[in-house]
Amino acid sequence: MKVEKADLEAKLREIQGAVEETTGGPRGPVLIAVAVVLVIALVFLLGKRRGRKGSARVEVFRVG
């Protein structure tokens, strides 16, 4: 049995088509979810920084 160049090219095209079908579908919702997580993390970190910046530290000493 000989494997010819045309056979290899046909099989590679078939595999490439299958890969494009599986990777093309859920890309949009995944990108949206990642963007939402990044925005939430950014807001959290900025709020944490602002809270630390605006708060006063009070030290209490007990005498006696």
Residue 29 lies in a domain: yes
Q: What pTM did the predictor assign? A: 0.44
Residue 11 lies in a domain: yes
Residue 27, domain extent: 5-54
Q: What's the CA gap between 29 and 19, in Å, rounded?
A: 19
Residue 60 lies in a domain: no
**Taking 70 as the threshold, does the pLDDT of residue 5 lie above it?**
yes
DSSP state of 57: P
Residue 61 lies in a domain: no
What confidence tens digit (pLDDT) does each residue in 16-45 have?
988 877 766 667 788 899 999 999 999 999
